A and B are shown apart, each in its own frame.
Chain A
Amino acid sequence: PHFMIELPDRDDALCFNINDKPGTIFSLVRDAQSGILVNGQIIGDKKIPPDGKINTYFWRFGIVHKNLGVRLEVNTQDISVFQDGKQIKLLWSDTASLKGPNVDLLVTKDRSLKVTLKDSVKFVILLHKVWEKHPYHRDYLGFYTLDSHLLSPSVHGLLGQFYHGIEYEVTDLRPGEFPEKPDATMFVKGQELNVTRGWQRDFRNDVKNGENVPCWFIHTNGTGLIDGDATDYIVSGLF
């Protein structure tokens, strides 16, 4: 999956990929103070494509808001909400909305799920439906944070660590491997990284084709940009 940090203040974006073995679960957001947790599990293609490159995607997200007593499991099949000992199941094949005292859900048929957790976070999960008989690929999900300003300064995770901004500078632009993707030097978190200008797709407005967003790509699983190493974010369970 590709991660994207869009910074409209600077009219710029940062991006990186993180891949691991299918089945790995990553911590995306963790805010102990507000009791919020978002974990995602990746899945691989149906079989190894001819180019031998295994692509992985998120197919399942576990979302917990401890303080509100809310738990959500979203996968490519359905959406389950657990609250006060009750479970509600919503299907991607329906358009539905659920308004509760602590959580609002809005499902747009076969397309997106918008989640608002009271006084904490708002996000959208996109469903990418792939032709059922596609020889390699299968359905997968995208996770887009819409509003995170109420989370505490200690929020962390692969996405969460960027919620309160990131300071960086890019300099020394030079030709890269491909003419349309120049390289540059990025100074971030006290390190000097070699980055490449590229783009990644934002699918919020066009779930089929997406929109290209130019970004500085950080190589090797975001090493240097993310705190620690990508493996530090592997967790054992979805909740």
Chain B
Amino acid sequence: ARRLQKRSTNEKTVEVYRVAVDCTVTSRFAHTVMTSMAVNKANVSQEIFFEMELPKTAFITNFSMEIESKMYVGEVKEKEKAKKQYEKAVSSGQTAGLVKASGRKMEKFSVSVNIAAESNVTFILTYEELLQRKLGQYEILTRVKPKTLVQEFEIVTNIYEPQGLSYVDAHATFLSNELLPLVEKTVTDKKARISFSPTMDQQRKCPGCDGTLIDGDFIIKYDVNRQTSLGDIQIVNGYFVHFFAPPDLPRVPKNVVFVIDRSGSMSGIKMQQTREAMLAILKDLHEEDHFALIPFDSSIEPWKESLIKATKENVAEAMAYVKKINDRGATDINGAVLRGVEMLVQGKQSKALPDRSVDMIILLTDGMPNVGVSDTSMIQQNVRSAIGGNMSLFCLGFGNGVDYGFLDVMSQQNKGLARRIYEASDATLQLQGFYDEVSSPLLSEVDLRYPDNAVELLTTNHFKQLFNGSEIVVAGRLMDNDMDNFLVEVFGQGFEEDFKVQGQARALDWGVMYPDEEYIFGDFTERLWAYLTIQQLLDKSKTGASDEKANATAKALDMSLQYSFVTPLTSMVVTKPETEDGPDSPLIADKLTEEQRQQAEKMSGRHYGYASSPPRLAYYPPTPTYFVDGD
């Protein structure tokens, strides 16, 4: 998860003593501390780099350095204020920290400090995230790239799940037959411990050489037991969290319209990937589902005029049609999506579609609309008003040119999700994976209700759908400690009948459940609530009306500062010690938005971040050139 190395490679004068990843998961809320300790054995000062990767869904909560027993602690500040501080440093030639996108799931944080001769430095980075259940499992991903042999190397993960663990699986991309037995896994009913701690010799690529085998992802997957329809409600220190994913629910049939961009810019690999993914997706349709295909460019040409049942014959016919979709023309997203909405509305009105079924539109596109209505805010407005909250819109954006922000907002405004599809070789799998996530609705219009007089500051408690393999999480603060009247109800629409359950929540006694643990992670429910609230406020700051956006942004900022989360609105600033190279200078940890990640990827190989003095770290967007000349 980090790399420690000297800038000059002439002599091996930096030794990495310790690399430790300590992750504690308590009720899906993961708190990870990464520690790296190195010693500068040279007789001159030198720059030591610290580079680590964390999941993009995580928020950094602390970054500190210990140099010669002196601690330099990070402080979360409003981004604009932090910016002023580091701009001053940057203009005086100091380096600031950098965050950049790293693949689909991770982002990279890197800093460097100048360390005096014969001195040591310890970097400690802490981040937190709420693990999301996808396709029936939670995943803890730790990326480790120490680049050199480490005297003490360890990854330790402790999982505490009061619902009980149904399974725990650990593997790593770098595990050889020799390293495999070093992964120790202890699982009891409600607790699991996974550790991996190879010695220096065990890390070695070959006898006598310095190369390390440790380079890749360490992945833990697990799920919890689900016994009650109500889900699991946990109350800790005045906050509650409700995890809802009832077992054994029949799936609800879906009516899905695939709106497929076949404009000129989709030509080549993107079009091919779309065809391949569509073939795989069509094959997975359930017989009771209905579907339609609407390929579009500047003209919108539905395969059939209405949705049809996904019988074997119809699916086979659709597959033959999909194979023939070719790129041409320009992009009329507005017209195509509205046509999809119209088809679904007509299908429901004419009773051609079952009453108890879920309506969804999946838009596959790579680019900005440029024909028909091309103003993106106008398209969002048109789509929102046509859908009127009655169906979900999922958007899949291809390539780096896609205006992801536009698709993201449009999906969220219509109870859906947007996902970027990266043009790698496995784009087809990415598409399928996304489809698998959203293709099996179990309930629609899910409402989780709590007594008004008992809870406050509730996170979102109404959900358009619950998908198979996912989980709904609601958290809030309790107004008093009297739990006698804490009645919880869940309503939803199932396939054949309404879903309705109710039950009483009760506080967990963590001392009884985990008697051997003196201290687990005291305020995790409150932090989980804060994390979820901030995420939802950040979403609202993109999708709501203008005053709502401003309010949501202000609240998200307040909470990010209060709970010390590095979100897109805040930065973490650590002031580096004075060195002979210059005075104090701050190090910065930031959070990227999806747009910034996309921008960073466009740089392909260039660093994203705040421009700092060494040119190799500076970020310059590719500047278009406009000129006139003669020959």
Contacts and interface: CB of A to CB of B under 8 A. Distances in A.
Contacts of B265: 169-171
Given A9-B401, A40-B628, A187 B330 contact: yes
Contacts of A126: 629
B339 to A, nearest CB: 19
Contact of A2 (B263, B264, B331, B629): B629
A140 interface: yes
Interface stretch (A64-72, A91-99, A102-110, A145-153): A145-153
Interface stretch (A80-88, A157-165, A174-182, A223-231): A157-165
A142 B626 contact: no
Contacts of B624: 5-9, 162, 165
Contacts of B518: none
B516 interface: no
A142 B263 contact: no
A146 B628 contact: no
A4 interface: yes
Given A3-B628, A187-B264, A172 B370 contact: no
B622 A159 contact: no
Contacts of B602: 9
A168 B370 contact: yes
Contacts of B264: 169-172, 185, 187
Contact of B626 (A56, A58, A162): A162
A148 B628 CA distance: 15
Nearest to B599: A9
A1 interface: yes
A202 B625 contact: yes
A217 interface: no
Contacts of A7: 624
A111 interface: no
A144 B625 contact: yes
B623 interface: yes
Interface residues of A, number: 47
Categorize the interface residue count of chain B. 20 to 34
Interface in A16-67: 28, 40, 55-58
Interface string B590-631: 000000000000100000000000000000001111111111
Nearest to A172: B328
B628 A143 contact: yes
Contacts of A192: 330
A2 B631 contact: yes
A131 B238 CA distance: 86
Question: Which of A8, A10, A58, A171 gathers most chain B CB within 10 Å?
Answer: A171
A167 B330 CA distance: 10
Contacts of B94: none
Nearest to A161: B626
Interface in B49-94: none
B374 interface: yes
B298 A140 contact: no
Interface string A124-152: 00101000000000001011111110000
Contacts of A9: 401, 602, 622, 624
B600 to A, nearest CB: 13
Contacts of A238: none
A128 B327 CA distance: 43
B267 interface: yes
Most buried by A among B328, B329, B370, B627: B627
A194 to B, nearest CB: 14
A201 interface: yes
A187 B628 contact: no
A190 interface: yes
Contacts of B630: 1-2, 55-58, 128, 140, 142
Contacts of B367: 169
A145 B626 contact: yes
Contacts of B626: 3-6, 144-145, 148, 159, 162-163
B281 interface: no
Given A9-B602, A167-B368, A171-B329, A4 B625 contact: yes
A121 to B, nearest CB: 11
Nearest to B298: A187
A76 to B, nearest CB: 12
A188 interface: yes
A60 B579 CA distance: 54
A239 interface: no
Contacts of A190: 370-371, 374
Nearest to B372: A190
A169 B628 contact: no
Given A169-B265, A171-B263, A4 B328 contact: no
Nearest to A16: B628
Given A4-B629, A187-B298, A202-B629, 12 more contacts: A2-B630, A4-B625, A55-B630, A58-B628, A142-B628, A143-B628, A168-B370, A169-B265, A169-B329, A169-B331, A171-B328, A187-B264
14 contacts: A5-B625, A6-B625, A6-B627, A58-B628, A145-B627, A159-B628, A163-B626, A169-B263, A170-B264, A185-B264, A187-B263, A200-B631, A201-B631, A210-B629
